[in-house]
Structures are given as C-alpha cells and as structure tokens.
Amino acid sequence: MSDERVVLILGGTGEAFDLAALIDASPGWRAVTSMAGRTRRPRLPEGEVVFGGFGGPEGLERCLAERGARAVIDATHPFAAQISQNTAWACTKAGVPLLRLDRPPWPVRSGWRLVSDVGEAARFFRRREERVFLTVGKKDLGKFENAGDSFFLIRTVDPVEDPLPIKNHDLITGRGPFSVEGELQIMREYGITWLVTKNSGGEAGSGKLTAAEQAGVGVCVIERPQFPECESVETPTEALRWLCEL
Ligand code: NAP
C-alpha cells in the first residue's frame, strides 16, 4: 500500500486541474479530485477523479473519513458558494486542514456597473431595451425571466437543453480561453450593447472585458459571494507549498 497521504481537491476550475498535476509530480501526497459532474466533457486532471456530489456536508465529512484524507484544498469556482460552505463545515467537523485556492478577482474598471448577484443584474435590464451578451453560466439563467424587452445572447459551455423563459434570445456555446479578437467579433456580429459577467477573475475569461472596452459596450459585473473565513492562496504553486509544509 502507498504511504502517500491523500489530499482531496474540490475541483471544477483550471487551477484545480493545474494543482493536481503539480501534486502528481511531487512526492508525498496523492491527489483525489472531486468534480460536480455538470459539464459533459470536462478536462480530466492527473490522479484519481471522482464525480457527483457528496450528499451535503455530512456526506463530505464521511468521504474525508473513508478516504483517510489528510488535507483538503477547495479549488472550486469563486461563485460555487454552496460547496465551499459545505467543505468548510466538513473540514472543521473532521479536523482536517483546509486551504482555499482562490484566483484573484478582476480589478474593478471605471464605468463598470457592479451588482451583488445575478438577480440584480436581471432587474437592471427590466426597463431597458439592450442587446446583452450574457456569460453567467447555465445555472442562473432562470433569473432573466421577465427581464424586459432586451435581446440576450447566451453563451454556455454545454448546450442549454431545457426551454428558457427568456423571450428574446440566441444561444451559443464556447469553452475558454477566449481571445479579445474572438470576443470582439461576437459583440460586433450580434450588435451587443451590454456584457454581463461574474467577477470570476483569471486570464481565460478576461478577453471579453477588453473587447467590451474597445467596442464601447457597457459592462455589468456580478460581485463575488462571501465565503467562510479560511486560509487561502491565489495560485496552484502556493497551494502545493502549503501542502508540503503540513
Ligand atoms: P455549488 O452551488 O456551490 O454546489 C452545489 C452542489 O454541487 C454542492 O452542494 C455539491 O453537492 C455539488 N458540488 C459542487 N462542486 C462540487 C465538487 N467540486 N465536487 C463534488 N460535488 C460538488 O456549485 P455550482 O455553482 O453549481 O458549481 C458546480 C461546479 O462547477 C463547482 O465544482 C464549480 O467549481 C464549477 N463551476 C462553477 C461556476 C459557477 O459560476 N458557479 C463556474 C465554473 C465552474 P452535494 O451537496 O451533493 O455534495
């Protein structure tokens, strides 16, 4: 049996992917990456991968015990608030050290309209008639029901299968990284007047912000949710260093 210690990575981001590769190449730890299993063809990280939820925080606590996990790194997306709360709870209960790997948000640019959540972004368009490039993911599209007479160009990683309650829309798919040129082309082709995005941070999704600036398109940015207090770093390399010091 291997004497490597197990670290559970909560994944679903490029950083989680990179971290699993770093751990795989270093002695002492064995990474198990957990993914929600929402996207159809996710990039598979090095090491063991498990899919699907744990069945709430208690299920996650059980998983830590069953796997004998000696550390947890929460490298989920900055807007995946539920799993981060569950992870903080489970690690406290199980007495397992937890680190959050959190890419920095994009610095606020002048002229951005900041909103606190997707619902507030939807309400902003209710009494307007705009052509909106909506890049908030699949999960919250329902909030744009009754969002007025604007046109919404919706980009998701996987195709949207269920009918949407948004009367005037078009659907496209795409997986980052996205270039500034590509984003400009989309904005021009569809006559976009506003971009709506979460403040996800990172290089892969930042092309649309520069493109919007160049095209004179308004930018509505959804601010990050609050997370439970915990030790955190911004890069996979720092996360590996934390692990090696345990
Ligand atoms: P969420 O609302 O925070 O979590 C909902 C439930 O999904 C959790 O309670 C958990 O189910 C399961 N889950 C989420 N992440 C998981 C993981 N890494 N491993 C196992 N189970 C997980 O999450 P979400 O916003 O739906 O995001 C789902 C996944 O997509 C996340 O892993 C996130 O990193 C990734 N993602 C999210 C966004 C976004 O904008 N929210 C964007 C890009 C990628 P149980 O309670 O059954 O354990």
The 10s digit of each residue's pLDDT in 53-84 is 999 999 999 999 999 999 999 999 999 999 99
Q: Is the torsion defined by CA of 77, 78, 80, 86 positive or negative? A: positive
Q: Judge contact between 221 and 115, C-beta under 8 A.
A: yes
Name the average pLDDT for the chain: 95
Say how many C-beta atoms besides its own lie within 10 A of residue 40's C-beta.
Answer: 8
Ligand 1 atom nearest to 86, measured from its CA: 9
Confirm if 45 and 59 have CB atoms less than 8 A apart. Answer: no
Provide the b/e sequence for 187-213 (b: ≥16 CB within 10 Å). Answer: beeeebbbbbbbbbbbeebbbbbebbb
Q: Provide the pLDDT for residue 16.
A: 97
**Mutate which of 76, 101, 157, 199 to test ligand 1's pocket (most atoms within 8 Å of Cβ)?**
76
pTM of the model: 0.95
Strand order in the sheet with 69-74: 48-51, 29-35, 5-10, 69-74, 98-101, 232-233
Higher-confidence residue: 39 or 174? Answer: 174
For residue 236, pLDDT beyond 60:
yes
Q: Which of 40, 64, 73, 82 to mutate to test the pocket of ligand 1 (most atoms within 8 A of CB)?
A: 82
Interhelix angle 207-215/180-189, rounded to 10 degrees, is 50
What is the CB-side half-sphere exposure of residue 98 using CA atoms within 13 A? 24
36 within 8 A of 52, measured Cβ to Cβ? yes
Q: Which residues contact 167 (CB under 8 A, 6 or more apart)?
A: none
Structure tokens at 29: 């730890």
Q: Which two tokens stand for residue 8?
A: 């559970």
Atom of ligand 1 nearest to the CA of 82: 3
Residue 206's pLDDT band (cuts 50, 70, 90) = very high
Cβ neighbours of 77 (radius 10 Å): 23
User: What average pLDDT score do residues 38-59 get?
Assistant: 93
Average of pLDDT values for 212-236?
A: 95
- The atom of ligand 1 lying closest to the CA of 16 is 34
